[in-house]
Structure 1
Amino acid sequence: MNLEKTLVLLKPSAVQRGLIGEILHRFERKGLRLAGMKMMQLTDEILNEHYAHLAGKPFFQRIKNSMMASPIIACCFEGVDAVQVVRSMTGATNGRVAVPGTIRGDYSVSAQENIVHTSDSPENAKVEVARFFKPEEIFDYKLNALPYLNYEEEYQAD
Protein backbone atom coordinates (compact mmCIF):
# COMPACT_ATOMS: atom_id res chain seq x y z
CA MET A 1 0.00 0.00 0.00
CA ASN A 2 1.14 3.50 -0.78
CA LEU A 3 0.66 6.86 0.87
CA GLU A 4 -0.31 8.96 -2.15
CA LYS A 5 -1.41 12.45 -3.05
CA THR A 6 -4.20 12.93 -5.57
CA LEU A 7 -5.95 15.82 -7.26
CA VAL A 8 -9.65 16.54 -6.84
CA LEU A 9 -11.25 19.41 -8.74
CA LEU A 10 -14.69 20.48 -7.60
CA LYS A 11 -16.11 21.58 -10.91
CA PRO A 12 -18.37 24.58 -11.54
CA SER A 13 -21.36 22.22 -11.21
CA ALA A 14 -20.33 21.54 -7.58
CA VAL A 15 -19.55 25.19 -6.84
CA GLN A 16 -22.78 26.54 -8.36
CA ARG A 17 -24.92 23.95 -6.57
CA GLY A 18 -23.39 24.66 -3.16
CA LEU A 19 -21.88 21.18 -2.74
CA ILE A 20 -18.32 22.17 -1.78
CA GLY A 21 -18.63 21.50 1.94
CA GLU A 22 -20.62 18.30 1.47
CA ILE A 23 -18.05 16.81 -0.91
CA LEU A 24 -15.03 17.86 1.18
CA HIS A 25 -16.80 16.41 4.23
CA ARG A 26 -17.08 13.02 2.52
CA PHE A 27 -13.37 12.84 1.68
CA GLU A 28 -12.36 13.94 5.18
CA ARG A 29 -14.74 11.49 6.86
CA LYS A 30 -13.27 8.70 4.76
CA GLY A 31 -9.90 9.45 6.33
CA LEU A 32 -8.09 11.37 3.60
CA ARG A 33 -5.89 14.28 4.68
CA LEU A 34 -6.41 17.60 2.91
CA ALA A 35 -2.93 18.70 1.87
CA GLY A 36 -3.87 21.70 -0.26
CA MET A 37 -6.94 23.62 -1.37
CA LYS A 38 -7.66 26.77 -3.34
CA MET A 39 -10.34 28.44 -5.41
CA MET A 40 -9.27 29.39 -8.89
CA GLN A 41 -10.68 30.48 -12.22
CA LEU A 42 -9.45 28.09 -14.89
CA THR A 43 -8.06 29.43 -18.15
CA ASP A 44 -7.94 28.14 -21.69
CA GLU A 45 -4.20 27.56 -21.24
CA ILE A 46 -4.42 25.27 -18.22
CA LEU A 47 -7.44 23.43 -19.65
CA ASN A 48 -5.66 22.83 -22.98
CA GLU A 49 -2.89 21.18 -20.99
CA HIS A 50 -5.15 19.34 -18.54
CA TYR A 51 -7.48 17.94 -21.20
CA ALA A 52 -4.87 17.55 -23.99
CA HIS A 53 -5.90 13.90 -24.36
CA LEU A 54 -9.36 15.09 -25.47
CA ALA A 55 -8.18 17.82 -27.87
CA GLY A 56 -9.38 15.99 -30.99
CA LYS A 57 -12.83 15.19 -29.63
CA PRO A 58 -15.89 17.13 -30.84
CA PHE A 59 -16.87 17.97 -27.25
CA PHE A 60 -13.46 19.44 -26.28
CA GLN A 61 -14.53 23.10 -26.40
CA ARG A 62 -17.78 22.32 -24.57
CA ILE A 63 -15.80 20.75 -21.70
CA LYS A 64 -13.48 23.76 -21.52
CA ASN A 65 -16.44 26.15 -21.53
CA SER A 66 -18.08 24.19 -18.73
CA MET A 67 -14.89 24.22 -16.65
CA MET A 68 -14.55 28.01 -17.08
CA ALA A 69 -18.21 28.78 -16.23
CA SER A 70 -17.28 29.68 -12.65
CA PRO A 71 -14.33 29.23 -10.30
CA ILE A 72 -13.45 25.71 -9.24
CA ILE A 73 -12.00 24.36 -6.00
CA ALA A 74 -8.70 22.52 -6.47
CA CYS A 75 -7.82 20.07 -3.71
CA CYS A 76 -4.94 17.78 -2.99
CA PHE A 77 -5.83 14.85 -0.74
CA GLU A 78 -3.39 12.39 0.75
CA GLY A 79 -3.86 8.89 2.12
CA VAL A 80 -3.09 5.23 1.67
CA ASP A 81 -3.91 4.41 -1.97
CA ALA A 82 -5.58 7.83 -2.22
CA VAL A 83 -6.02 7.73 -6.00
CA GLN A 84 -8.02 4.49 -5.90
CA VAL A 85 -9.95 5.51 -2.78
CA VAL A 86 -10.99 8.84 -4.32
CA ARG A 87 -11.92 7.21 -7.64
CA SER A 88 -14.09 4.65 -5.82
CA MET A 89 -15.82 7.39 -3.84
CA THR A 90 -16.41 9.45 -6.98
CA GLY A 91 -18.12 6.79 -9.10
CA ALA A 92 -18.60 6.43 -12.84
CA THR A 93 -17.99 9.49 -15.02
CA ASN A 94 -21.61 9.55 -16.18
CA GLY A 95 -23.67 10.51 -13.16
CA ARG A 96 -26.75 8.78 -14.56
CA VAL A 97 -25.05 5.38 -14.21
CA ALA A 98 -22.88 6.11 -11.17
CA VAL A 99 -23.81 3.93 -8.21
CA PRO A 100 -25.85 5.62 -5.46
CA GLY A 101 -23.57 6.33 -2.52
CA THR A 102 -20.81 7.66 -4.75
CA ILE A 103 -20.39 11.41 -5.20
CA ARG A 104 -21.54 11.36 -8.81
CA GLY A 105 -24.22 8.79 -8.04
CA ASP A 106 -25.66 11.07 -5.36
CA TYR A 107 -25.21 14.49 -6.99
CA SER A 108 -25.02 14.15 -10.78
CA VAL A 109 -27.27 13.17 -13.68
CA SER A 110 -24.79 14.18 -16.39
CA ALA A 111 -21.67 12.85 -18.07
CA GLN A 112 -20.22 16.35 -18.34
CA GLU A 113 -21.63 18.25 -15.36
CA ASN A 114 -20.41 15.45 -13.11
CA ILE A 115 -19.32 17.43 -10.04
CA VAL A 116 -15.65 16.39 -9.75
CA HIS A 117 -12.49 15.59 -11.64
CA THR A 118 -10.13 13.11 -9.98
CA SER A 119 -6.74 11.78 -10.97
CA ASP A 120 -6.97 8.38 -12.63
CA SER A 121 -3.57 6.94 -11.68
CA PRO A 122 -0.75 7.63 -9.22
CA GLU A 123 1.44 8.77 -12.13
CA ASN A 124 -1.18 11.22 -13.42
CA ALA A 125 -1.87 12.40 -9.88
CA LYS A 126 1.73 13.61 -9.53
CA VAL A 127 1.50 15.51 -12.83
CA GLU A 128 -1.93 16.96 -12.05
CA VAL A 129 -1.10 18.06 -8.50
CA ALA A 130 1.98 19.84 -9.90
CA ARG A 131 -0.17 21.46 -12.61
CA PHE A 132 -2.58 23.01 -10.12
CA PHE A 133 -0.39 23.58 -7.05
CA LYS A 134 2.99 25.16 -6.41
CA PRO A 135 5.13 23.11 -4.00
CA GLU A 136 4.61 25.69 -1.24
CA GLU A 137 0.82 25.29 -1.57
CA ILE A 138 0.96 21.63 -0.49
CA PHE A 139 1.20 21.16 3.26
CA ASP A 140 2.64 18.26 5.18
CA TYR A 141 1.32 18.12 8.73
CA LYS A 142 0.54 15.42 11.21
CA LEU A 143 -3.05 14.26 11.18
CA ASN A 144 -3.70 13.29 14.79
CA ALA A 145 -6.36 10.77 13.73
CA LEU A 146 -3.80 8.80 11.68
CA PRO A 147 -3.36 5.93 14.18
CA TYR A 148 -7.13 5.46 14.13
CA LEU A 149 -7.34 5.24 10.32
CA ASN A 150 -4.69 2.66 9.41
CA TYR A 151 -2.16 0.49 11.11
CA GLU A 152 1.43 1.75 10.88
CA GLU A 153 2.64 -0.71 8.23
CA GLU A 154 0.04 0.60 5.78
CA TYR A 155 1.95 3.87 5.59
CA GLN A 156 5.15 2.20 4.46
CA ALA A 157 5.95 2.30 0.76
CA ASP A 158 5.72 -1.03 -1.06
Structure 2
Amino acid sequence: MSLERTLVILKPSAVQRGLIGEITHRFERKGLRLAGMKMMQLTEDLLNEHYAHLAGKPFFPRVKASMMACPVIVCCYEGVDAIQVVRSMTGATNGRVAVPGTIRGDYCVSSQENIVHTSDSPKTAAEEIARFFKPEELFEYDRAIVDFLYYPEEYKLT
Protein backbone atom coordinates (compact mmCIF):
# COMPACT_ATOMS: atom_id res chain seq x y z
CA MET A 1 0.00 0.00 0.00
CA SER A 2 1.21 3.45 -0.79
CA LEU A 3 0.01 7.00 -0.55
CA GLU A 4 -0.75 8.16 -4.08
CA ARG A 5 -2.11 11.12 -5.94
CA THR A 6 -4.42 10.74 -8.90
CA LEU A 7 -6.11 12.99 -11.42
CA VAL A 8 -9.87 13.14 -11.88
CA ILE A 9 -11.51 15.26 -14.57
CA LEU A 10 -15.22 15.91 -14.22
CA LYS A 11 -16.09 16.03 -17.90
CA PRO A 12 -18.58 18.38 -19.57
CA SER A 13 -21.26 15.68 -19.19
CA ALA A 14 -20.87 15.93 -15.40
CA VAL A 15 -20.72 19.73 -15.40
CA GLN A 16 -23.76 20.16 -17.67
CA ARG A 17 -25.81 17.69 -15.64
CA GLY A 18 -25.01 19.35 -12.31
CA LEU A 19 -23.15 16.34 -10.87
CA ILE A 20 -20.04 18.12 -9.57
CA GLY A 21 -21.13 18.09 -5.94
CA GLU A 22 -22.46 14.52 -6.10
CA ILE A 23 -19.21 13.17 -7.49
CA THR A 24 -16.81 15.14 -5.27
CA HIS A 25 -18.96 14.19 -2.28
CA ARG A 26 -18.46 10.49 -3.06
CA PHE A 27 -14.67 10.82 -3.21
CA GLU A 28 -14.59 12.80 0.03
CA ARG A 29 -16.89 10.35 1.83
CA LYS A 30 -14.64 7.50 0.72
CA GLY A 31 -11.80 9.21 2.57
CA LEU A 32 -9.71 10.64 -0.26
CA ARG A 33 -8.05 13.99 0.41
CA LEU A 34 -8.56 16.74 -2.13
CA ALA A 35 -5.11 18.16 -2.94
CA GLY A 36 -6.19 20.49 -5.76
CA MET A 37 -9.27 21.52 -7.73
CA LYS A 38 -10.00 24.03 -10.46
CA MET A 39 -12.36 24.79 -13.30
CA MET A 40 -10.83 25.21 -16.73
CA GLN A 41 -11.70 25.28 -20.39
CA LEU A 42 -9.71 22.59 -22.19
CA THR A 43 -7.98 23.54 -25.44
CA GLU A 44 -7.31 21.49 -28.54
CA ASP A 45 -3.56 21.58 -27.85
CA LEU A 46 -3.99 20.32 -24.29
CA LEU A 47 -6.35 17.56 -25.43
CA ASN A 48 -3.97 16.52 -28.24
CA GLU A 49 -1.30 16.03 -25.57
CA HIS A 50 -3.59 14.42 -23.00
CA TYR A 51 -5.21 11.98 -25.41
CA ALA A 52 -2.21 11.45 -27.73
CA HIS A 53 -2.79 7.69 -27.49
CA LEU A 54 -6.15 8.21 -29.24
CA ALA A 55 -4.90 10.57 -31.98
CA GLY A 56 -5.20 8.01 -34.81
CA LYS A 57 -8.63 6.74 -33.82
CA PRO A 58 -11.63 7.72 -35.95
CA PHE A 59 -13.56 8.87 -32.86
CA PHE A 60 -10.82 11.24 -31.63
CA PRO A 61 -12.42 14.40 -33.11
CA ARG A 62 -15.64 13.54 -31.21
CA VAL A 63 -13.67 13.08 -27.98
CA LYS A 64 -12.07 16.51 -28.37
CA ALA A 65 -15.36 18.20 -29.25
CA SER A 66 -17.03 16.59 -26.25
CA MET A 67 -14.24 17.62 -23.87
CA MET A 68 -14.34 21.24 -25.11
CA ALA A 69 -18.15 21.58 -24.95
CA CYS A 70 -17.89 23.53 -21.68
CA PRO A 71 -15.41 23.96 -18.83
CA VAL A 72 -14.37 20.91 -16.81
CA ILE A 73 -13.44 20.46 -13.17
CA VAL A 74 -9.93 19.09 -12.67
CA CYS A 75 -9.17 17.47 -9.32
CA CYS A 76 -6.18 15.87 -7.66
CA TYR A 77 -7.07 13.38 -4.94
CA GLU A 78 -4.71 11.69 -2.52
CA GLY A 79 -4.95 8.53 -0.43
CA VAL A 80 -3.61 5.06 0.07
CA ASP A 81 -3.82 3.33 -3.33
CA ALA A 82 -5.82 6.33 -4.58
CA ILE A 83 -5.51 5.38 -8.26
CA GLN A 84 -7.13 1.96 -7.77
CA VAL A 85 -9.68 3.34 -5.30
CA VAL A 86 -10.81 6.06 -7.72
CA ARG A 87 -10.97 3.68 -10.68
CA SER A 88 -13.04 1.19 -8.67
CA MET A 89 -15.42 3.95 -7.63
CA THR A 90 -15.68 5.21 -11.21
CA GLY A 91 -16.61 1.91 -12.86
CA ALA A 92 -16.33 0.67 -16.43
CA THR A 93 -15.71 3.22 -19.19
CA ASN A 94 -19.01 2.34 -20.87
CA GLY A 95 -21.75 3.54 -18.55
CA ARG A 96 -24.21 0.98 -19.95
CA VAL A 97 -22.13 -1.85 -18.47
CA ALA A 98 -20.79 -0.05 -15.39
CA VAL A 99 -21.98 -1.68 -12.19
CA PRO A 100 -24.67 0.20 -10.22
CA GLY A 101 -23.05 1.87 -7.23
CA THR A 102 -20.14 3.16 -9.31
CA ILE A 103 -20.15 6.74 -10.56
CA ARG A 104 -20.63 5.72 -14.18
CA GLY A 105 -23.05 2.95 -13.20
CA ASP A 106 -25.22 5.47 -11.38
CA TYR A 107 -24.93 8.52 -13.62
CA CYS A 108 -24.35 7.61 -17.26
CA VAL A 109 -25.47 5.42 -20.15
CA SER A 110 -22.76 6.29 -22.67
CA SER A 111 -19.25 5.17 -23.49
CA GLN A 112 -18.38 8.67 -24.72
CA GLU A 113 -20.27 10.98 -22.35
CA ASN A 114 -19.04 8.99 -19.37
CA ILE A 115 -18.84 11.66 -16.67
CA VAL A 116 -15.19 11.36 -15.53
CA HIS A 117 -11.62 10.76 -16.63
CA THR A 118 -9.30 9.05 -14.14
CA SER A 119 -5.60 8.22 -14.19
CA ASP A 120 -4.86 4.55 -14.81
CA SER A 121 -1.38 4.09 -13.29
CA PRO A 122 1.13 5.88 -11.05
CA LYS A 123 3.18 6.95 -14.10
CA THR A 124 0.12 8.30 -15.91
CA ALA A 125 -1.15 10.01 -12.76
CA ALA A 126 2.15 11.85 -12.28
CA GLU A 127 2.19 12.98 -15.93
CA GLU A 128 -1.47 14.04 -15.88
CA ILE A 129 -1.24 15.92 -12.60
CA ALA A 130 1.79 17.82 -13.91
CA ARG A 131 -0.11 18.57 -17.15
CA PHE A 132 -3.11 20.12 -15.38
CA PHE A 133 -1.66 21.58 -12.16
CA LYS A 134 1.23 23.87 -11.35
CA PRO A 135 3.07 22.77 -8.17
CA GLU A 136 1.69 25.77 -6.27
CA GLU A 137 -1.88 24.68 -7.09
CA LEU A 138 -1.50 21.45 -5.09
CA PHE A 139 -1.75 21.53 -1.33
CA GLU A 140 -0.47 19.45 1.58
CA TYR A 141 -2.45 19.67 4.78
CA ASP A 142 -3.30 17.45 7.73
CA ARG A 143 -6.79 16.09 8.17
CA ALA A 144 -7.94 15.37 11.69
CA ILE A 145 -9.82 12.29 10.52
CA VAL A 146 -6.80 10.40 9.11
CA ASP A 147 -6.57 8.22 12.23
CA PHE A 148 -10.16 7.15 11.60
CA LEU A 149 -9.56 6.30 7.93
CA TYR A 150 -6.39 4.19 8.12
CA TYR A 151 -4.40 2.04 10.47
CA PRO A 152 -1.15 3.87 11.33
CA GLU A 153 0.88 1.31 9.34
CA GLU A 154 -1.28 1.92 6.25
CA TYR A 155 -0.82 5.65 6.08
CA LYS A 156 2.77 6.66 5.52
CA LEU A 157 3.82 9.83 3.77
CA THR A 158 6.27 8.89 1.06
TM-score by length of 2: 0.98
Query: Is residue 110 of structure 1 aligned with residue 103 of structure 2?
Result: no
User: Which residue does the alignment assign to 2:41?
Assistant: 41
Percent of counterpart pairs with the same letter?
77
The 3-state SS of whatever aligns with 1:79 is strand
Show the counterpart of 2:140: 140
- Mapped to 2, the partners of 1:109 and 1:155 lie a distance apart of 36
Map 1:1-158 → 2, pairs under 5 A: 1-156=1-156
Instruction: Report the number of matched residues.
Output: 158
Code of the residue aligned with 1:39 in structure 2: it is: M
> Letter of the aligned partner of 2:26 in structure 1?
R
Write the distance in 2 (CA, Å) between the matches of 1:18 and 1:78. 24
SS at match of 1:21: helix
Deviations 1:124-150 (A, max 9, x none): 000000000000000000011100000
For residue 100 of structure 2, give the secondary structure of its aligned residue in structure 1: coil
Moved over 4 A (4+): none
Q: 5+ unaligned residues in a row in structure 1: which ranges?
A: none
Q: How many angstroms does 1:157 deviate by? A: 6.8
- How big is the shift at 1:156? 2.9
Unaligned residue ranges in structure 2 (runs of 5+): none
TM-score (norm 1): 0.98
